[in-house]
Structure 1
Amino acid sequence: MKTLFNILAAFIAFTNIAVAQVKWSVDPAHTNARFEVKHLGIAFVDGQFKTLEGNVESATATDFNNAKINFSIDVNSIDTRVEMRDNHLKSDDFFSAAKFPTMKLANATLKGNDGKYILTGDLTIRDVTKKVTFNVVQNNGIITDPWGKTRAGFTATTSINRFDYGINYADKLPTGVFAVAPEVQITINVEVVKN
C-alpha cells in the first residue's frame, strides 16, 4: 500500500511539473506594434499603436515552442505623426475607435524552434475575428538584464486585408487605384520579461 501511495505521489508531482507554465509579461516600454500601407499606389504611410499589453506562457524558461500568447492594443493610441490622419483612422471609415477601442490577438500559439516560429491566433479588429499567422524570429535568445530580470525579444510580421475586418474605406483615384491600399503590413517588436 505504501509503495502504491509513493507511486501515486510521484505521478502527481510529475504531472504538476509537466503542466507548469512560465509566465512572461510584455514590456510596453520596449514593445511596438507598427503598420504600413500603400498610399495612392506610389508611397507608403506607416504608423504605430503606442499603448499595448500582453502576456506569454511558456512550458519552460528556455523554450518558447508551444507558448500561449494574448495581446491587446488600444486603438486610440494610434500615431502616424499627423493628427488629422490619426483622427480619420479612429473614425468609422477605419477603426471606429469609439465603438471598438481595443484590438486583440487571443488564443495564439507559437510553434517552432531555433529562434524561428509561426504564431497562429485569433485577431479581432472592430467586431470581426479571423485567424491570422505571423512569422516570428526570436532576437538573440534569452538574456538577464543589468537589473537581474530575464528577458526575451521577438519580431513578428504578417499582412492582412483590411476589408476582411470591416475597414471598408474605399476611395479610389480616377485610375482605379485605391487611395489607401487594402493590404496592410504589420510588424510587432516584442520584449517580454519573466514574472
Structure 2
Amino acid sequence: MRKLNLLMMGAALALGMSATAQTKWKLDKGHSSVRFSVNHMVVSEAEGTFKMWDGTVENSKDDFSDAKINFTVDVNSINTDNERRDGHLKSDDFFNVEKFPTMKFESTSMKPLGNNKYELKGNLTIRDVTKPVTFQVTHGGVIAGGRGRKAGFKATTTINRFDYNLKWDRATETGGLVVGKEVEVTVKVELDEVK
C-alpha cells in the first residue's frame, strides 16, 4: 500500500511538473509579418502582405521541438499596394473571401535540424482545400527582459496556388503564365510569453 501511495504521489508530481512546464506564446503583431511573392509576366515578381492575422504557440521543451502552432489569416486583409489587383485576389478567381474569409495553419511537427534551423510541418487550409505543407524555419532565439520573455522565428515555404483552387490562369504572349503557379510565403514572428 505504501509503495502504491508513493507511486501515485510521484505520478501526480510528474503531471504537475509537466503542466507547469507548458509555455504559451502570443504574437507581437507590431513586430511580425506575413508576406508572399509570385512571378508576374514571367520576368518579375509581385509581392503582397496580409495585414490581419493571429496565432499561438505552445511548447514544453526549451528547444521548441514539441511546439504546437496554430495560425490564422484574415484573407480580406490582403494588400499588394494596388486596389484593383487586391479586389481581383479577393474574388472567386483566387481567394473568394466572401465564402472563405480565413486561411489556417496547424502544425503537426517541429523537427530541429541544428544551428537554429527547423523543419515545420503542418496542414494549410486555403479556400476549402487542406494540404500538408513544410516550412523551413530559422529560430532567432529567446530573450528575457523587463517586458518578459520573447522568441523570434522566420518561416518560409513555397506552395502551388493551383493546389488550393486559386485558379485564375492566363498565358503571356510567350506562353508563360501572367501570374506564376508557385507562391513563396514568408512569415516572421516575434512571440511574447503569456503569463
Q: Give the equivalent residue in structure 2 for 1:90.
A: 90
Partner AA of 2:178 in structure 1: A
Shift of the alpha carbon at 1:3? 3.9
Shift of the alpha carbon at 1:2? 3.2
Shift of the alpha carbon at 1:7? 2.4
SS of corresponding position for 2:10? helix
Instruction: Please report the RMSD computed on the Cα atoms of aligned residues, expressed in angstroms.
Output: 1.4
Deviation per CA, 1:47-102: give whole Å up to 9, x if none: 10011100011114x32112110000000111111111111111111111111000
Q: Give the equivalent residue in structure 2 for 1:24.
A: 25
Partner AA of 2:97 in structure 1: A
- The reply on whether 1:68 has 2:68 as its aligned counterpart is yes
Work out the CA distance in 2 between the residues paired with 1:108 and 1:82. 35
- Aligned ranges 1:51-62 → 2 under 5 Å: 51-60=52-61, 62=62
Partner AA of 1:14 in structure 2: A
Work out the CA distance in 2 between the residues paired with 1:174 and 1:75. 31
Does the CA contact (< 8 Å) of 1:69 and 1:109 recur in 2?
A: no
Work out the CA distance in 1 between the residues paired with 2:111 and 2:59. 11
Unaligned ranges ≥5, structure 2: none
- The reply on whether 1:154 has 2:162 as its aligned counterpart is no
Partner AA of 1:91 in structure 2: S
Q: Give the equivalent residue in structure 2 for 1:109.
A: 109
Q: Give the equivalent residue in structure 2 for 1:126.
A: 127
Work out the CA distance in 1 between the residues paired with 2:38 and 2:139. 25
Question: Matched residue pairs, number?
Answer: 192
- The reply on whether 1:172 has 2:171 as its aligned counterpart is yes
Partner AA of 1:33 in structure 2: V
Work out the CA distance in 1 between the residues paired with 2:156 and 2:11. 41
Shift of the alpha carbon at 1:14? 1.0
Work out the CA distance in 2 between the residues paired with 1:114 and 1:40. 37
Shift of the alpha carbon at 1:114? 4.1
Partner AA of 1:173 in structure 2: T
Work out the CA distance in 2 between the residues paired with 1:132 and 1:91. 24
Change in CA separation of 1:120 and 1:34 when aligned onto 2, cut-off 3 Å: same
Work out the CA distance in 2 between the residues paired with 1:23 and 1:33. 21
SS of corresponding position for 2:96? coil
SS of corresponding position for 1:8? helix
Greater Cα offset, 170-179 or 111-120 = 111-120
Shift of the alpha carbon at 1:174? 2.4
Shift of the alpha carbon at 1:24? 0.8
Shift of the alpha carbon at 1:149? 1.5
Work out the CA distance in 1 between the residues paired with 2:109 and 2:58. 10
Does the CA contact (< 8 Å) of 1:67 and 1:111 recur in 2?
A: no
Work out the CA distance in 2 between the residues paired with 1:116 and 1:123. 21
